[in-house]
Structure 1
Amino acid sequence: MRQKPVALVDFSAHEQDGKKDRNFVMALARGLEILRAFRPSDGLLSNQEIAARTGIPKPTVSRLTYTLTKLGYLSYSERLERYQLGTGVLALGYSSLASMGIRQVGRPLMQEFADDTGASVSLGSRDRLSMVYLENCHGQGALTLRLQVGSRVPVATTAMGRAFLAALPEAEREYLLDHIRRKDEQAWPRVRQGIEQAVADYQEKGYCISAGDWERDVNAVGVPLVLDDGSDVMAFNAGGPSFRLPREELDRHLGPRLVNLVRTVESRLSSGGAQ
């Protein structure tokens, strides 16, 4: 069974008691949805392709892409009649990453972990039903996954995503689980079972495992990081090919060590170590 198409955002959700939210700027929301429509694997996109991905009418897409191009957030190929993300978006992204003290604190610890274990070690944050990689470290000579900063992986089946879900308040977690269920009803029973096990593992051990649940030959462990002010939840993971990192290795070494790494990051952040 094919997965149900899921729009990037439900604009009708921004209503209160059947009335439009007067503080919600629809034109801005639609412009941002157009920027979100571009994926790392994409070439250039036409207005028609953007309209299909976002559910925004093509005439509206055409006006918004024109405006975004004028502002530098998109660039336009006259020959191909298609768009790609412009330097304005890159500048915003780099500014955001540069302002995250967690990356400055975490990267040396992550690299040491990767060098010692041969695992890929990553930090990510949620965007919709994906986790977006904000930092990624590999050990020298290790067989690693082809993921980099900006890569997206599923929340539901990866160790990073499950760690994120496990750290959420129950109401927020159930809200996301409902969206995950609607995206793929057929896979839902198996997916839900994996998430419930991950939550139980996190509560007992401090980490979650994904052993072949995302990709058949990939095993990983994940640990959430709840920022001290409660403003956000991020997650770390460590993983690699299953023949190099069997589940027993995750439980015996990688899981406990990743918990220690995250506790160290928390301690340094709270003491101002990111400054």
Structure 2
Amino acid sequence: MSKLVGRPVVVKEDRHFVTALARGLELLACFRSGDKMLGNQELAERSKLPKSTVSRLTYTLTKLGYLQFDDESGKYRLGTATLSLGSAMLSRLDVRQLARPAMQQLADFSHSMVSLGMRDRLSMIYIENCRSQAALTLSLDVGSRIPLVSTAMGRAYLAVAPQGERNDLLARARELDEQGWPVLQESVQRALDEYREFGCCTSIGDWQPGVNAIAIAFRPPDGSTPVSINCGGPAFTLSADFLVQEVRPRLIELVEQLRRAMAT
């Protein structure tokens, strides 16, 4: 997992900001797709918080039902209280229901995976997935996190984000990887130029070697948070030319259909 996925939020000199609450939420965000259980040491490393602080937070979150302690392993798993929050969020995202049929058609056509994602800090989180039944696809599910700056989905989000938000996100990404930033910055700028010219972003082996993807982001007509939609998979089934020549026009049409459906 890239170290650009997620980052503790730091808010300075804000008397309305409740630090203890922020730390508790950051601790919950340490759980990623595929993590069954985490111990206090792992949570401390991921959250960059002192282990003593983590211990108090996990105790409190367990009492409230947001974490569940496993006596045998001495670790924590997410509790049912977090499930209610996530379910409530997903249930109000009409875009998922509207997009699913067209997403499945595109997945079947491209023999790949088509996904919807929303931003969380320096990550994109999958909120819907459609897979082709005819080919090998990526092993990512709803709830999976992918990096913002190195993926097509994340770059598409950056392309439609307000300038101030985009600058802030890129500054935070740079802080996490000063050494690798020049290469990342060049690839992000290329993606932004690509979006302006072609209306989409690509990631050709930038996130993971052998994985190609193309994405478009759009803001729903109600002004809510931008959503990205991508088509991605192994490079041996999704060449760059195929993504641009065949998938891109279909992805653009899919987004236009969504805009029209959500505007009615």
Please state which band the TM-score falls in when normalised by the shorter chain.
Answer: over 0.9
CA contact (8 A) 2:96 2:128 kept: yes
What secondary structure is seen at the aligned counterpart in 1 of 2:90? Answer: helix
Task: Give me the CA root mean square deviation.
Answer: 1.9
Q: Tell whether 2:174 aligns with 1:181.
A: yes
Q: Give the TM-score normalised by structure 1.
A: 0.90
Number of the residue aligned with 1:41: 34
1:115 Cα deviation after fit: 1.4
Amino acid at match of 2:154: G
Q: Which aligned pairs between 1:250-269 and structure 2 lie closer than 5 A?
A: 250-269=243-262
Number of the residue aligned with 2:199: 206
Q: Percent identity?
A: 49
Larger relative contact order (CA 8 Å, sep ≥ 6): 2
CA contact (8 A) 1:6 1:183 kept: no
Task: Give the counterpart of 1:237 among 225, 230, 239.
Answer: 230
Number of the residue aligned with 1:18: none
Number of the residue aligned with 1:159: 152
Number of the residue aligned with 1:193: 186
Q: Tell whether 2:12 aligns with 1:14.
A: yes
1:145 Cα deviation after fit: 0.7
Number of the residue aligned with 1:60: 53
Number of the residue aligned with 1:129: 122
In structure 2, relative to structure 1, the CA distance for the partners of 1:5 and 1:127 (3 Å cut) is closer
Larger Rg: 1
Q: Structure 1 stretches (4+) deviating beyond 6 angstroms? A: 3-7
Within 2, Cα distance between the matches of 1:76 and 1:185? 37
For this pair of structures, how many residues does the alignment match? 263
Amino acid at match of 2:8: V
In structure 2, relative to structure 1, the CA distance for the partners of 1:245 and 1:269 (3 Å cut) is same
186-195 or 257-266, which moves further after superposition? Answer: 186-195
1:188 Cα deviation after fit: 1.4
Within 2, Cα distance between the matches of 1:245 and 1:120? 10
1:49 Cα deviation after fit: 2.5
**Structure 2 residues without counterparts, runs of 5 or longer:** none
Task: Give the counterpart of 2:141 among 123, 135, 148.
Answer: 148
